[in-house]
């Protein structure tokens, strides 16, 4: 009985996780979830229109059905969480999933519907949490696609981005205090406190310019001119960092494809079967055999697609691992 339950849970786990092209039930489940997400978001969007009153019963039914699907999916994910974290005990694995980012996203995608009290004016923000379900769209393809490239670039450049954002925040605080001291006496109802200055500096440094708060004194306008010019440069810094990260990623991929013609390098393809000891291991934890000692894993062929791995990439069954080594 336990064996049947274990096999059933394993099969359900394989289905509800990100599917592959060869597992039809899992791929169908992914498409169903995508359609459900879009229906739920569309219904949530339409219910804000007063003119849709005559269609409200159908909209509410759509929200109810999709919320039930989300709830069922969440229960299955909690039930199979020990397979997602095989090195943890079942209870700890389930708690790990429940309090993970995606676990909380899954929970809040349907919880507001089943607890009407959360939708009152006191906690109206919970209605917005339905839209968080859109992030499931980014989980449909866990392979090395454009979205994963963005995450890789952000992680690789996080220190530079943190420094540039910190510089923007410091400039925002300094300019807000400066503008408050210059404009408070001239227009106390507009620049009431330092926070009013922060609102002005944010809209100015980010070149938005709402126009609801602006300086009227000569000194304030002079400072505003300098802040506006600084804002153009400061906001461009994070953009340049991210752009440089994309260029580096592209150059890295091109260089990997270009070294194939190097006569001093040898490429070995390792076919990883389901029972191979590499299955489930991260690139950083792999122990290469003696004949490949010193080699570097440069790419992985998986289901007809080429992945450029990093140290966190996990090897799966039926992968073709390309190892590069010096002759």
252-301 pLDDT, tens digit each: 656 555 554 555 566 677 888 777 788 888 887 787 776 666 677 877 87
Written as six digits, the tokens of 56 are 């409200």
What pairs with residue 127 in β-bridges?
A: none
pLDDT computed for residue 128 by the predictor? 58
pLDDT digits 0-9 by tens, 229-242: 887 787 788 888 88
Order of strands, sheet of 319-326, starting from the edge strand that comes earlier in the sequence = 265-272, 319-326, 296-302, 305-307
Q: How far apart, in whole angstroms, are the C-alpha atoms of residue 111 and residue 133?
A: 12
CA distances, 323 to each of 65, 194, 279, 304 (Å): 49, 58, 16, 18
CATH level 2 (architecture), domain 2-142? Up-down Bundle (1.20)
Residue 144's pLDDT is: 46
d(CA 81, CA 90): 7
203/210 Cα distance (integer angstroms): 6
Q: How many Cα atoms sit within 13 Å of 277 on the Cβ side?
A: 5
pTM for this structure? 0.55
Q: What is the pLDDT of residues 178-229, one digit of tens each?
A: 888 888 888 888 888 877 778 888 877 776 767 777 788 888 888 888 888 8
Find out whether 70 and 110 touch, Cβ atoms under 8 Å. yes
Where do the domains of the chain lie? 2-142, 158-256, 262-326
pLDDT recorded at residue 257: 54
Q: What is the pLDDT of residues 74-116, one digit of tens each?
A: 999 999 888 888 778 889 989 988 988 778 878 877 777 777 6
User: Per the structure block, which two tokens stand in for 11?
Assistant: 């099969």
Topology given in CATH for the domain delimited by 158-256: Helix Hairpins (1.10.287)
Q: Which residues pair with 323 in a beta bridge?
A: 268, 297
Q: For the residues of 18-83, what is the DSSP string, one character each?
A: PP-TT-HHHHHHHHHHHHHHHHHHHHHHHTT-GGGGGGHHHHHHHHHHHHHHHHHHHHHHHHTHHH
pLDDT tens profile 31-55: 888 888 888 888 878 887 888 888 8
Q: Which CATH number fits domain 262-326: 1.10.645.10, 3.90.1150.10, 1.25.10.10, 3.30.70.1450?
A: 3.30.70.1450
């Amino acid at each position: 009985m336990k064996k049947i339950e274990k096999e059933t849970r394993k099969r359900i786990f394989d289905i509800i996780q990100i599917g592959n092209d060869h597992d039809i039930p899992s791929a169908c489940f992914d498409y169903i979830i995508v359609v459900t997400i879009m229906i739920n978001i569309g219904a949530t969007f339409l219910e804000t229109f007063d003119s849709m009153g005559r269609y409200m019963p159908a909209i509410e039914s759509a929200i109810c059905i999709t919320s039930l699907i989300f709830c069922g999916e969440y229960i299955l994910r909690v039930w199979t969480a020990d397979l997602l974290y095989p090195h943890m005990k079942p209870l700890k694995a389930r708690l790990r999933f429940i309090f993970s980012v995606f676990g909380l996203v899954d929970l809040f995608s349907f919880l507001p519907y089943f607890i009407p009290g959360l939708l009152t004016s006191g906690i109206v923000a919970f209605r917005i949490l339905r839209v968080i379900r859109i992030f499931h769209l980014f989980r449909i393809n866990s392979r090395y696609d454009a979205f994963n490239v963005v995450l890789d670039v952000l992680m690789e450049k996080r220190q530079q981005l943190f420094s540039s954002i910190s510089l923007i925040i410091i400039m925002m605080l300094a300019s807000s205090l400066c503008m408050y001291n210059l404009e408070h006496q001239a227009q106390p109802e507009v620049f009431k406190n330092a926070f009013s200055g922060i609102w002005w500096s944010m809209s100015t440094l980010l070149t938005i310019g709402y126009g609801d708060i602006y300086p009227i004194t000569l000194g304030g306008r002079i400072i505003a001119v300098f802040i506006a010019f600084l804002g153009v440069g400061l906001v461009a810094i994070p953009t340049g960092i991210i752009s440089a990260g994309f260029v580096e990623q592209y150059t890295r991929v091109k260089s990997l494809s270009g070294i194939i013609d190097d006569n001093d390098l040898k490429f070995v393809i390792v076919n990883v079967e389901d029972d191979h000891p590499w299955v489930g291991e991260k690139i950083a934890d792999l122990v290469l055999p003696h004949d490949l000692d010193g080699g570097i894993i440069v790419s992985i062929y998986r289901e007809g697609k080429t992945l450029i791995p990093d140290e966190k990439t996990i090897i799966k069954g039926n992968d073709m691992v390309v190892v590069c080594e010096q002759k």
